[in-house]
Structure 1
């Protein structure tokens, strides 16, 4: 039963910071390729003195998800010359809660044992059986962590609470597979906010667009630019000047959303957008509605729009829509423009 999910894990690794302030990779199993290892070192807060301690961060690089748990060494411990360490798990799937829980078990093991042997044994146990048990360090069971719960863990209600009707800009950008860059100096705020945005297009259930923690390094930017659309989080304030990276820029601390000049035509708003925006705000503002119900409300409306688009496509040659087809329907200009770009995003547009 656990077999399919266990195959999603790729590796486990360990970075230590010693009493001299040096941070080094000390162990990994089975292996981590050099380019990814550099990214993980860069993301590990042990190599960034000014960043403070981030107990848990996650993101992806070249379609590999990584999860980093960092702890300060506490007495009593077998780690005499280590002040902090990070456990890193890489995997094929997005499930922060699952890997945070597993990493906590591994961290407790390493704190007490001072050796990666038990960590490797636990990793192999989860890999082969989907479970690792330890009376003193806690247990971990893969089947306790449903992917649907991971998708619902981000708060669309919080997004709407911050941006109100402007949430329709984010909805439109995700629907049209545009590039969204979110800035906040605190990693934790980025992780919390960005992970909610793919839920705006629940019909796709595509969290591969999510890059919640990216740095302005050559390797990460090259990887990001290969993606046609994404939600990317940055702690570097200079990202606001890198307009080639985004169609929509979100300044979280100032609660500002900016549409790039080059994206304004595709992102033009009209009556349909206002209708969807009002629905989102009303649903999210209802204290009695859960996150799941809010997402369902948005999804129902989205499916209505997609059903209309599909019915138009059915009447076209090879079920592909053209601009001429839409013009014959006499939609309002903003609606016609949105449906044209949505058809492209949904691969219903005749090229």
Structure 2
């Protein structure tokens, strides 16, 4: 058994502390080992303490240029050693996507800070996990890194919920993900965004790629640059203004209204045909089966995807260096929408001969 704890712990990058004081000032007060000024700006923006209306988001997460951040926020209750602090947030940055792991860990760190009012305690807890993969304290609960498998994090979103909201239109999301398109989701409540967006990469389970997930983005230049550095993505916004930013999306999901729109420039790439209808029915059927858990639905869709990909690969193998050409596809006389989809899918899967 290789030492999982060691490789796991090397995924953590930093821990930081943001406080809101009795004068309603929000400040970045401490971090270990360090966080760049640029990332700090982003984290302050993500932290709900900087919002005028204090809606308390107990936990949010997202990424910025491949650095994941996890923020737990606490409303400080009397009596406490933290005399001048009304609220605070513990911010962990890491290389991996695992919200449950970092939510649990940051909660333990929050409890330590409430009790001792000293960031050194946060640092000690952080270093304990960094070196031993475990952070134990009798009164503040303990945290064991081993308990949080990344597969669990991938499976925590609910495809069944997505399908129950969008039905047959789920095929649009599936197609967009398979073709590595840009999906933007709008909802005014960040919690709803986090829950919905994190489920979507599971529709393309064969890639197990959650780096496409940007669940909480602000319409701010640097953040949009970070987004644009990705080929395809699933991005969540709380700002309704994003509706008018068709430069950012191929597919737009208005979550409160349950509406999915394909933008004008992506219409051709996203043309739907018989194959899409068939896959769409298949997804809906699997998701609506009350006996099937989310994991099984994801598996069903994955098996279906594998079939399509295997067919593509077998077509490619007839060609030179196992690559596919449009000519080879044309010889099969697929319906136009199917041919279009398969050609673009082959490109997304790097099976095309250029």
- The normalised TM-score by structure 2 is 0.98
The CA distance in 2 between the partners of 1:322 and 1:258, in whole Å, is 30
Q: CA deviation at 1:51?
A: 5.6
Which whole-Å deviations, capped at 9, do the CAs of 1:248-274 have from their partners, x for residues lacking one?
000000000000111011101111111
Deviates most, 268-277 or 316-325: 316-325
Q: Give the structure 2 partner of residue 91 of structure 1.
A: 94
1:121 is the counterpart of 2:124: yes
| SS of equivalent to 1:172 | helix
Q: CA deviation at 1:301?
A: 0.2
Q: Give the structure 2 partner of residue 195 of structure 1.
A: 198
| SS of equivalent to 1:315 | coil
| SS of equivalent to 2:207 | coil
Q: Give the structure 1 partner of residue 219 of structure 2.
A: 216
Q: Give the structure 1 partner of residue 23 of structure 2.
A: 20
1:344 is the counterpart of 2:347: yes
Q: Note closer, same or farther for the CA distance 1:158–1:51 as it changes in structure 2 (3 Å cut).
A: farther
The CA distance in 2 between the partners of 1:276 and 1:79, in whole Å, is 56
Q: Give the structure 1 partner of residue 142 of structure 2.
A: 139
Matches within 5 A, 1:295-314: 295-314=298-317
The CA distance in 1 between the partners of 2:57 and 2:200, in whole Å, is 22
Q: Give the structure 1 partner of residue 245 of structure 2.
A: 242
Q: CA deviation at 1:320?
A: 1.7
The CA distance in 2 between the partners of 1:51 and 1:65, in whole Å, is 24
Q: CA deviation at 1:349?
A: 1.2
Matches within 5 A, 1:1-351: 1=3, 2-50=5-53, 52-351=55-354
Which whole-Å deviations, capped at 9, do the CAs of 1:292-312 have from their partners, x for residues lacking one?
100000000000000000001
| SS of equivalent to 2:216 | strand
The CA distance in 2 between the partners of 1:310 and 1:239, in whole Å, is 38
| SS of equivalent to 2:23 | coil
Q: CA deviation at 1:76?
A: 2.0
The CA distance in 1 between the partners of 2:279 and 2:200, in whole Å, is 16
Which whole-Å deviations, capped at 9, do the CAs of 1:198-249 have from their partners, x for residues lacking one?
0001110000000000000111001101110000000000001000000000
Q: Note closer, same or farther for the CA distance 1:191–1:276 as it changes in structure 2 (3 Å cut).
A: same
Structure 1: give runs of 5+ residues left out of the alignment. none
- The normalised TM-score by structure 1 is 0.99
The CA distance in 1 between the partners of 2:220 and 2:71, in whole Å, is 19
Structure 1: 4+ residue segments shifted above 2 A: none
Structure 2: give runs of 5+ residues left out of the alignment. none
The CA distance in 1 between the partners of 2:55 and 2:295, in whole Å, is 34
The CA distance in 2 between the partners of 1:50 and 1:286, in whole Å, is 42
| SS of equivalent to 1:202 | helix
